[in-house]
Every structure is written in structure tokens, then in C-alpha cells.
Structure 1
Amino acid sequence: MSLNPKLLSCLSVGREIITPARVKDAAEWAEKYRILSEFESAIPGRWSNSVTPYAVQPMRALSNPGTVNVTLMCCSQASKSEIVRNALGFWITAAPGPTLWVMPSVAAAEEAVDERLGPMIQNSIPWALPGGRYDISTKKGIKLTSMRIYPATQGSPQALATRPCRYVICDEVDKYGTNAGKDADPLALAAARIRTYKKRGKFVCLSTPTFRDGHIFKRFDACPDQRHYYFPCLKCGHKWHARWEHVVWPKRPEEINEISWGAQIVAGNLARIRCPECKHEHEEKHRQAMIQGGEWVSSLGLPEDVFGDSVAFQFSSLVNPWADINKLAEKFLKVRKDPTKLQEFINQEMGEIYEDEIDAASVKGDYHAAKISTYAPGIAPNWTSTILATADSQKDHFWFTVRAWGRDGRSRLLSHGRANSFEDLRAKTLDAWFDVEGYESVGGFRMKTGYLFIDSGGGLAGAGDGEASITDKVYKFVETDPKRIIPTKGFPSYKRAKKPISESQITAKGTRAKHFKQVLLRIVDTQYFKDLLFAKIWDGPDWEENSSIDADYGKQMTAERKVMTKTKSGFLKLWKQTSHGSDNHYWDCGVLQLAAADYLKVHLSAPEEVVHAERLQIAKMRQAQGIKLDETPRGARASAPQAPKLRPQQTMKRNGQDFLAAYR
């Protein structure tokens, strides 16, 4: 039986209406089906890839079957979220699967559903998927015929870890915290959701960047395939990654301030994009042609449409068709002297991280080459007033230094190294004896370490094994010799301490079960003493090392730089490690050495000639009594001074000046 030709024609038309034409990627899907409402765009209507040509390649990467990890680090208001929503529309139509959309907060998640995802699905999905049903709920998410979209917040570990998802989208990740409640990194929890889908899954991170340690930059920096949008020079054809350094304008006349000059740049259309090759300068009206002729360049040298397992994209407002380089120049001139506003410009407009400004004065050369000496380790100089040890506590070991100190602020390294237990630390510091030079004619003289100042931090001793924290163990260690072991804690760097070092009574666990003991903790302004240590090392001869230091010791002593840093109290110049994870233990021990000398008032020790005469007397008494070199004879006073009873907030001054000036 044959059907009527007219009926066949009607069925064919109906089939085209009911079944959408297949599209190969999200860019083609957006061009064919995406409808922008007035809530979503300043230019409502059909989506056109020609308006934002830089969005095409990211959409194709999000559609590529073998690409699992996609990172978008870019400026604000440049369609990065629309790129991902277009990919979501393609997934709904061509490759459906459960989707988790993670936002920084509940309010942001609700806004995303109500004002972004909801309108996109209502306006575009019926055209792409005729007959498909959907139910939009702020709390429950979006239920479609083919898949579910679950909104979640980064602070909810249950939402991030309960269900497997084929697609996970983490939006504005630099606004996330470091942990999801008491659980791990929220990005790690979210990424685990796609594990069962293997190569068919997608993990997408997008955000405007903030700092180097932000989530989005870490992912971008870890991705081997980093892509930037290259502009073509309209004169020589050279293509380059356009950055803010390529935007130029005429030099400001001296009689005009920067604010007024910025307004004149806008009024006169004076800003240009300069080609680094031929130096040709392009006006704002030429920038649109440069955007249209631009292309994505891979750090791996891959073609534009070839993507591996992971790919990361970065772009700035220079590729944004709605931006204006003249207005950007005006904004830059307004904010360039204000670190807070400058950070916002670099993050929001350039789509780049804000690099802390390094204080050039805090950068020095090779410490090992500059400070190594011929002094033998373990030999105290004859000007020694006392010997102090300091220790930096780690999870399962300690780093320590032992130094000789003199009345005039001189200090020499006697020993340094690593101790693997409290017993080992005691043996290498508190129980250590050192020969003092200059007393060979009377049988020699030896000194024992007077005090050990130990960092009470260090974190947990074991992960989930029920062990006490290092802090608790340090306090128990202090209890074994409270007169000579001094616990310390650093003062928060973003606050300004009233005094360089103060005291605080705390309650700590004792050596017996259910036993608590009062511990006198010394609070150290580490930023203050780091300034002092840096000056002492490089501005004079008073900080001496011995012949045993190596290159690693030198690296640790120069492992920090002073940088402009954003804190809770605004922008401050703070000492920070030069790179994440670099060892700085000996530097920290040096800081504690200065704090210990401050606390014990070493500069007020007896004059050198008085100490020398006393030591000669002790040596002669030892010879007369026939006792060992490391024992104090009867009737002689111990050579190590006693710790003063320093009252909190006590001012330490000498001759009307801060006593620490004696160490500079």
C-alpha cells in the first residue's frame, strides 16, 4: 500500500518541526537556537557568534567528547557565563546528563536559576528540543525531560559529594573558600562527581581571577594547554597576545592632573593599541576588526580546533566588543596609585591575577656566598654573653639553630640542623656544651645553652589517628623544663602589635590525663623581627655565620620577600615566602633568635671585661678542685643569665631609645 504524496509531504514537514537538526558543537547550537532575553543581555535577540568570535573556541572545547577539564579565566562582563550556558544548551539537546552547577553562595545560586538558567531554558530549549518539558525550581533545581540540573553552593559538602554527575560547572571559583564545611577543597569534592563518567564527563571552572593563590589561577597554571586570544596587526599582519602594556596614549602635560587627562583621552579618542612588531598604533575603531581577525593560540602549539584532555582559556576586556580602550585608560589613571582599586582593574578588566608589589629593598643576592665564614662550628667566641637556641616546629620534626650572643648585639651561629623528636631536640640544644675560645691557657672554658625558644605551632601530629596536636606536645615539653624552654606564638601578620613581644597565660593539657596547667606563652610580632633580622644581616657585620652553612641554609635565609599584600586591614607590606612551599625554617629560627635576645635583654649583659674576669676565676677554681670542664665549680656563679620576669606591655628602653636599636 502506498501513501498519498501530499500526506508524505506533510509528515516530512512535521518531522522537521518535531526533530531538531543535529548540531556538531555548542557554537553551532548557540547560533541556531540561543535566544537572549532582555534579562540576559543588553542586545536581546538571537545569539550571533560574529559579535563575540573569541567565544567560539571555548564553546567547541566544551563540546569536544575527549576534553574533560575546561578552565575559563577572564575579565568580567565578557560572556564567559554565556559561553557555559550555551554549552549547557548543547548538552541538553545532544548529550544529556545530570549537571551540578556550583555557586559561591545560596543567593548566587538562586539568582543563577531565576535570572540566568531559567530564561535561557524557557527561551531556547523549546526551539532546540520541541516537546520537551521542564520544571524550574530555585531550591530543587531544573528538571527537564532529558536531564536534571542541580544548583549547589561551595560551602555545602553534602551537595558536592552526594550524587554522580556527568557535568560539573564551578562558577566564580575565586569567591569559594578553601574548604567545604569541614571537608576538603570544594573543587576537589566537585571534581570527584564526574569520576564514573570518565572521558564523557566535563569539569568546568570559570571565574574572574584575584591572586596567584586563587582557585582559578591554580587551575589555569596547572593546565598544560593554555590558550590566549591573539590580535592581528592591521598593518604588518603580526599576531600577538594583546595585554595592557600594549595600550598607549600621549604623555600627560605637567599642568594637567591624571584625572583630567583621563577625561581628555576619552574625549579625544587618544588611546591606541600598539603592535609590538612594527609599532603601528590602532585606534578604538580598528579594535573591532582586530577582534574579528583574532585567533586562539595554544601554549602546546595545537591547532585551534584540536583539544586534549584539559584546556584553559584566558582573555581580557581588550577582546570585549562592549569595552572601550579610551575609557579603560581613563579608569587606569584613576586607580593606578590605589592598590585596592588597581587590583580590581587588573582582575576585572584584564582578567589577570594581581601580583603583589615586591619591595626591591628586601631582595638580596646569594646569602651563602655573602655570609659563609672561616669560623669553626661549635666554638663560641670570647665575647659570648649567653647561648640561645630556637626551634621551628613541624608536623613530625623540628629545625633548630644555636647562636652565641654578645652584649653589643653581635651573634654567631654555633650549630644548626634538624631534630626528629623532642629528645633529639633537647640533646642538640639544651644539653649541648660549647668551648669558648681564648681560655686555652687555663684549661679551657665551656658554656651550655641557656634557653630554648620553641614555636608552639606545627598543626596536627597525625591525620585522623587521634594523636595530640604538636601545640599540645610542645606545651608538655615545656613542662619538663619550664625555666629554660620558652614557648612562642606569632602575632597575626595583618594586625599591628602594641609591643614586639608580650606574654599571655593560657591553659594547656598537662602530662597526666585530665590534668591542665597554666603555660606562659610569648607572643612575637614576627613582622617586626623580620624587619630587624633583615637589617641586621645585610646592614652590618653583627650577624655572623660559621663554615658549616651550605647552599640550602642560604636559600632558607632568603626564602621570604617583603611584598604589598591585601589583608583584612587593607594593603600592607608583609614578609611572605618567595614561592609556595619553599623552606624558610632557618629564617624563622633567626627571627626567634632576635625575639629571644629581645626578651632576655641580652644587650644589658655584664661588660665583656667583667665576664672575662669571672670566667678566668671559674677556670682556675675548676683546675684547683680537679673537676670536669663542663661542670661549674663550688662557689662559682652559673654563666647563663636567668630569664627576667617580663610584665605584659612592659616597655624596654635604653638611653631613651628602643633597645632593639642596639642590634641594628
Structure 2
Amino acid sequence: MPLNKSALTESTSRRRKNTKIEWSPWLQKALKVLKPPERLTVSEWADKYRVLDAKTSAEPGPWRTERTPYLRGIMDAFTDPDIEEIIFVKPTQVGGTECLNNIVGYVIAQDPSPTMIVYPTDKLAEFTSKNRIQPMIKLCPVLSERYQDQESKILELQFDGMYVVLSGANSPASLASRPIRYLFMDEVDKFPPSAGKEADPRSLARERTKTFAHNKKIFQTSTPTRKNGPIWEEWENADDQRRYYVPCPHCGHYQTLRFKQIKWPNTARTAEEAQTTAYYECEQCHGIITDGHKPAMLRAGRWQSEKKTGTRKTAFHLNALYSPWVRFGDVAYEFLRSKDFPELLMNFVNSWLAEPWEQTEAKMNSDNVLEKQSEYEEGVVPDGTLLITAGVDVQKDHFYYTIRAWGTNMTSWNIAHGVAETWDQIEYIMNLPYRDKQGNIYQVNLCAIDSGDRTDEVYEFCAFNQEWAVPVKGSSNSLLSRYKVSTIDKTSSKAYGMRLYIIDGNQYKDMIAGRLNRPNGPGSWMVYKGCDREYAEQICAEEKVVEKKGGREVEIWKPKAIHAANHYLDAEVYAALAADLLHVRYIQPETTREQPEINKTQSVEYQQNNFIKPDYDWINLKGRWI
């Protein structure tokens, strides 16, 4: 009797269901490796699989991007095929470290490829491996099942189809000879300038990605330090600069959160009072925004490009105001606690505002200059004066000059300054007699004149007036001493064979800035009573910054703004050099002892009897020549 076809089919199907196929362990593992990954972004993967460790996280448990929604755009940029490099300029307390760890976890689970993570030191790399990376792997099943524990070392973690190398920027051996596709560099501003005897550690690490020229990814993050620091230079050179904009809960205006919009009542007398009363003010409607508004604002936020010329190198910037763990009052408190202490203020600017530190402690303020007014009027020689020097800054068609009196301990007073238009006027001014309150007469003992411009004219003028004038020139490099002596070797010049003084202006500007901080009195740098604001502004036209020269960091004085007038500052530098040439620095206060005989040509009585005070009411020593 023939079998029923439908019955046969049903019987076969039943046998297949009851048959259990036994796969070998190695085959099961191979099939898992070959299984295509889910189509997820980094933030989706983290929300689905990442678990935070109670040992290192303030909020242990499943990761929720919704808690720090600003990290979504940074993490998902990693899966954007148009982006090759990601720059993250960050403060503390915004989840930046976990952002990097999420991307590393995504790579292991979704796109296994050789990976390197570089930290400032190898010790920090070891600590992070033990306390962050390995705990993350063990708490996440999709990572732990790929982890080859027995084959791994502290600084070299092995996975199915890839490895993760953790390196210290101070260890050149750990940065060499490993082809990698994914490069992560954490806290790059703390990297040493070189890895031992090798080149810049960031450059060494980048060399390892050459094998993957078309599909590599480089991720750099750091809290900034200075404007010439690595992370801020990367930010400024990025093709796409993005900031996180959030809407005002009152008017809906999208804006970035900025420190200047944090307000607190004028009645708050202490940092603690400001902490409890501070709020954020909308830049558009001036509405009051409280900490309670922040979570919804962050969820509705979006990254916007502020400068965009491409996407290959994309940079993100955040400050601590966005952090869900930081209140507006905390920012106010930290600022008030730090503002009077440069070291604390630097930490506030770097770690809270994520901005580079400028040498604000080395900035001179014009108000400070005007506070240094003495009891002496313009043109009056102060008591205690030993000698007078002058400095002249030469411009294309005029001159800025200053005349300064010097006493013991390098105490000094500006007694006149102004602008002249011709060499004859400079000669006249430098030969004028100046009187003290007792009627004693003084003259400029030595004048230093800038020879950087109109060089031949300066040389000739100094040759004709070499009893009181010397040519000087600023040094393009730092000097071990404040100045060095050269010789004018231009045979066609009337000044041939004269001394030319090469000056390190940075050292003299350091001296002026330091003595401005002293109270009026011995050792202070003072100005005459009624000193004008223009002079004070020019004295303070520069600030001290840190720049890299010849592979090392150096501190130099530079104008605060482009084309800022600093002529009086330069003139004061030259006057200070003239004082050094006369050895005023080494003159000690007089003690009771027998005085040597005074040459009559240097005595006050001789000067009084042989000089007639000219009528120079027609000269305006403060302003331009009349």
C-alpha cells in the first residue's frame, strides 16, 4: 500500500525537530566570530550592552546616554565614514573617560581591529587597564566572550580577531612596531614633548596607523592647558568645530552655556552664599534658568558647527556647565574661591571652563600703573635720586621717550615721558636740567636709543652724542644675561667701532612687572603724580605667554592685541638697560663713613653755578611736540 505523501512529510519534519545537532566548541566559537554584527551606532551599542562598575562610577549599572546626551554626538561621530579624526576638548565631570571607553567597547564587539590607547604615562596605562578597561570587559557579556584572558597581559589585551595595546606616551618602545587601525589618545596635554630620545609621542603613535590609510580612526581628548597645548591646537586646526547648543526653557532660544551668564545677587558676600543663590540667565530673554531646567535642556540640545571647512577632522568642545553632576552654584563657588589665586584660577579655567590658560598673573594692568603714582609732580626729581637715565623708541617719523630717576635698591620714578618729532628735539630734551625740591640740578646721565628702525640715523646720532647716548638693539633669542655687548662693524658709518648693546627685552619686562607689584617705596617702580592714562596703557600693552621654540617651551612677552601700542614700554626697557650700564643695580645705601673728595665737575654746586635753566614752557613733555 503506497504511503500517504502528507503523512510522510509530517513524519520527516517531526524527526528533524527531535534531532539535536551537536556542534563542537571550536565550531560554535568560529560561527560567533563569523556572525555579522548588529547595525548599531556607538551610543546605541552602549545603551544596549554597557554596564558601569560600582568601583569607578558614581552611578553604577546600565549605561544611559540620556543621562549625558551631549556625548551621543561625539560617540556616533566614530561611525561616520566621512570623519577620520575626532577631537574632544573637555573639562572634568562630563563623562569624557566613559565616552572613550564606550567607543573602545564598540570596536571590540562590532568592528574588531588592532587598537592602541595612549595615556600620558605607562603607570597610568596600567592603572586604567586594571581599574577601567578590564572591569568594563568582565561586566559586558558581548565583550567578555571575546576576551582571551589567558593570552592577555596588563598592557596587551587579546580578543577574538584583534588586540588592544595600552601605552604610555613616555615609553617609546610601547609606541613602536605595531600596526593599528584605531588610535585613542587620552589627556594629550599631559603627554611629554618627546618619548625618551624619540620624537613627539603623538607623531610616533600616528605612524602606526599608516597600514590602514583609508579606514583608520584617531580619537584625541584632553582637558586643555595653554593655547599652544596639543588639544587646543587640534581644536583650532579642525575642519569642523562644534559646540553644544541647548534651548532656553522660557523662550526656546538655542545657545551655548557660558560662564558669564551665571549670575548671583550682589548681596552674596561669600562664595558659599553665591553657591546657594546662583542661577543661569538666558542671553536672549534674560529669563532665570535653574538647575532643575538643565536635564530637559540637555536632552533637547544639539551639536552645531561654528566653523566648518570639511568633516575629516571634527572637534567637539564642552565645559562643566553642561555636566548633570555640576550645579550652576558650584561653578560660581569655584570661581570665587579661585579668582585671587593664579594656580587655582588656572585649574578653574582649564578643568571647569575647558579653556586654555593665559598667563593672567603676568599681565600688567594700567590701573596698577596709575596706582604707582608718587608724591612728585612731573619733571621734579625725587629725593634719593642717584642718577637719571632715558630710553627712546624710534618710529618711522617720530620718537617715544621716557626719563627715569634711579635710587638704591633699583628704586625708580618716571619723571617725564612724551613724543618728539626730530632728532634735534631728542637732543634738546636729553640735555634739559631737572631739579629736585631743594633746587639741586640733575641731567640725563645715559640714554639708550633703539636702533631697530632708522638704523643709520641712530648710529650717526649716537656717534655725535656718545658722551650720553648709546645704540641698542633687541635680541631675537633669549640671553643668559640681560644684555650683551657687540660692536658696530659698518665701515661707512660714523659710529664704526662703537659699542652696540644687544638687549633681552623679556628680562627687563619681567623686572618691570615684578616691581609694579611692590608697594610704593624702596625697590618699587613708580610714576609721577598725575600720570596720563595713555602712558599707563602702553606700559601694559603686553602679556607673558608660553610658546614652543626649538622643541621646548619658552615664556615671552607679546602684545595683548594686534597693533597694540607698546612704545613707552619699550622706552622704559631701554632706560632700565641704561641704568644697568651705569651699575645702579649695585649701588648700596650710604652709610656713615668718610666720603671721598667729589670732582667739581660732578658736584651739585658746580652744576648750579654753570647751568642756566632754559625757558622750555613751549615743550609738552607728556604729549607730542608743539
TM-score (norm 2): 0.65
Task: Report the Cα offset of residue 600 of structure 1.
Answer: 2.9
Amino acid at match of 1:458: N
Aligned mate of 1:189, from 204, 226, 237: 204
Gapped runs of 5+ residues in structure 2?
Answer: 1-8, 370-394, 401-418, 432-441, 490-495, 517-524, 547-554, 593-620
Task: Report the Cα offset of residue 475 of structure 1.
Answer: 8.9
User: d(CA) in 2 for partners of 1:137 and 1:489?
Assistant: 56
What are the within-5 Å matches in structure 2 for residues 630-645 of structure 1?
none
Q: Is the aligned partner of 1:261 residue 2:244?
A: no
Task: Report the Cα offset of residue 479 of structure 1.
Answer: 14
Find the counterpart in structure 1 of residue 243 from structure 2.
228
Task: Report the Cα offset of residue 283 of structure 1.
Answer: 2.2
User: d(CA) in 2 for partners of 1:429 and 1:655?
Assistant: 44
User: d(CA) in 1 for partners of 2:202 and 2:477?
Assistant: 26
Kindly tell me: are residues 456 and 369 of structure 1, through their superposed partners in 2, closer, same or farther at Cα, counting changes over 3 Å? closer
Task: Report the Cα offset of residue 309 of structure 1.
Answer: 0.3
CA deviation digits over 1:444-497, x for unaligned, max 9? x675998676778738xxxxxxxxxx999x99978999994667668xx8xxxx
Find the counterpart in structure 1 of residue 336 from structure 2.
333
What are the within-5 Å matches in structure 2 for residues 28-107 of structure 1?
28-107=44-123
Aligned mate of 2:559, from 556, 559, 578: 578
Find the counterpart in structure 2 of residue 458 from structure 1.
477
User: d(CA) in 1 for partners of 2:75 and 2:203?
Assistant: 24
Aligned mate of 1:381, from 405, 427, 447: 427
Amino acid at match of 1:258: T
Task: Report the Cα offset of residue 382 of structure 1.
Answer: 6.1
Task: Report the Cα offset of residue 590 of structure 1.
Answer: 5.4
Find the counterpart in structure 2 of residue 318 from structure 1.
321
Given that 2:366 and 2:540 are in contact with CA atoms closer than 8 Å, whether structure 1 keeps it comes out as: no
Amino acid at match of 2:581: L
* Secondary structure of 1:343's aligned partner: helix
CA deviation digits over 1:75-102, x for unaligned, max 9? 2122111111111112223333322221
Amino acid at match of 1:147: M
CA deviation digits over 1:191-234, x for unaligned, max 9? 33323422411222111222323222221122131111111112
Amino acid at match of 2:586: Q
User: d(CA) in 2 for partners of 1:283 and 1:9?
Assistant: 62
Kindly tell me: are residues 454 and 331 of structure 1, through their superposed partners in 2, closer, same or farther at Cα, counting changes over 3 Å? closer
* Secondary structure of 1:311's aligned partner: strand
CA deviation digits over 1:172-205, x for unaligned, max 9? 1222233333444333333333234224112221
Given that 1:174 and 1:215 are in contact with CA atoms closer than 8 Å, whether structure 2 keeps it comes out as: yes
Task: Report the Cα offset of residue 652 of structure 1.
Answer: 6.1
Find the counterpart in structure 1 of residue 134 from structure 2.
118
Amino acid at match of 1:189: L
CA deviation digits over 1:373-402, x for unaligned, max 9? 7745799836768xxxxxxxxxxxxxxxxx
Find the counterpart in structure 2 of residue 593 from structure 1.
574
Amino acid at match of 1:527: D
User: d(CA) in 2 for partners of 1:71 and 1:535?
Assistant: 48
* Secondary structure of 1:190's aligned partner: helix
Task: Tell me how many residue pairs correspond in the alignment.
Answer: 497
Given that 2:242 and 2:315 are in contact with CA atoms closer than 8 Å, whether structure 1 keeps it comes out as: yes
Q: Is the aligned partner of 1:294 residue 2:322?
A: no
Find the counterpart in structure 1 of residue 375 from structure 2.
none
Q: Is the aligned partner of 1:349 residue 2:347?
A: no
Task: Report the Cα offset of residue 164 of structure 1.
Answer: 3.5
Aligned mate of 1:180, from 195, 200, 203: 195
Given that 1:164 and 1:193 are in contact with CA atoms closer than 8 Å, whether structure 2 keeps it comes out as: yes
Find the counterpart in structure 2 of residue 422 from structure 1.
none
- Identity percentage of aligned residues: 23
Q: Which has the larger radius of gyration?
A: 2
* Secondary structure of 2:586's aligned partner: coil
User: d(CA) in 1 for partners of 2:576 and 2:169?
Assistant: 41
Given that 1:93 and 1:129 are in contact with CA atoms closer than 8 Å, whether structure 2 keeps it comes out as: no
User: d(CA) in 1 for partners of 2:174 and 2:530?
Assistant: 56
What are the within-5 Å matches in structure 2 for residues 341-490 of structure 1?
341-357=344-360, 358-361=363-366, 371=399, 375=421, 381=427, 407-408=443-444, 411=447, 413=449, 415-417=451-453, 432-434=459-461, 458=477, 484=499
Given that 1:262 and 1:331 are in contact with CA atoms closer than 8 Å, whether structure 2 keeps it comes out as: no
Q: Is the aligned partner of 1:528 residue 2:511?
A: yes
Amino acid at match of 1:361: S
Amino acid at match of 2:231: I
* Secondary structure of 2:67's aligned partner: coil
Given that 1:363 and 1:561 are in contact with CA atoms closer than 8 Å, whether structure 2 keeps it comes out as: no
Kindly tell me: are residues 252 and 7 of structure 1, through their superposed partners in 2, closer, same or farther at Cα, counting changes over 3 Å? farther
Find the counterpart in structure 1 of residue 598 from structure 2.
none
User: d(CA) in 2 for partners of 1:582 and 1:110?
Assistant: 50
User: d(CA) in 2 for partners of 1:559 and 1:197?
Assistant: 51
Kindly tell me: are residues 448 and 216 of structure 1, through their superposed partners in 2, closer, same or farther at Cα, counting changes over 3 Å? same
Moved more, 185-194 or 134-143: 134-143
Kindly tell me: are residues 580 and 408 of structure 1, through their superposed partners in 2, closer, same or farther at Cα, counting changes over 3 Å? closer
User: d(CA) in 2 for partners of 1:559 and 1:190?
Assistant: 42
* Secondary structure of 2:209's aligned partner: helix
Gapped runs of 5+ residues in structure 1?
Answer: 386-405, 420-427, 437-444, 460-469, 494-523, 545-556, 566-573, 602-645, 657-662
Task: Report the Cα offset of residue 73 of structure 1.
Answer: 1.0
Kindly tell me: are residues 446 and 331 of structure 1, through their superposed partners in 2, closer, same or farther at Cα, counting changes over 3 Å? closer
Q: Is the aligned partner of 1:237 residue 2:240?
A: no
Instruction: Give RMSD over aligned pairs.
Output: 5.1
Amino acid at match of 1:600: L
User: d(CA) in 2 for partners of 1:593 and 1:39?
Assistant: 61
User: d(CA) in 2 for partners of 1:532 and 1:429?
Assistant: 34
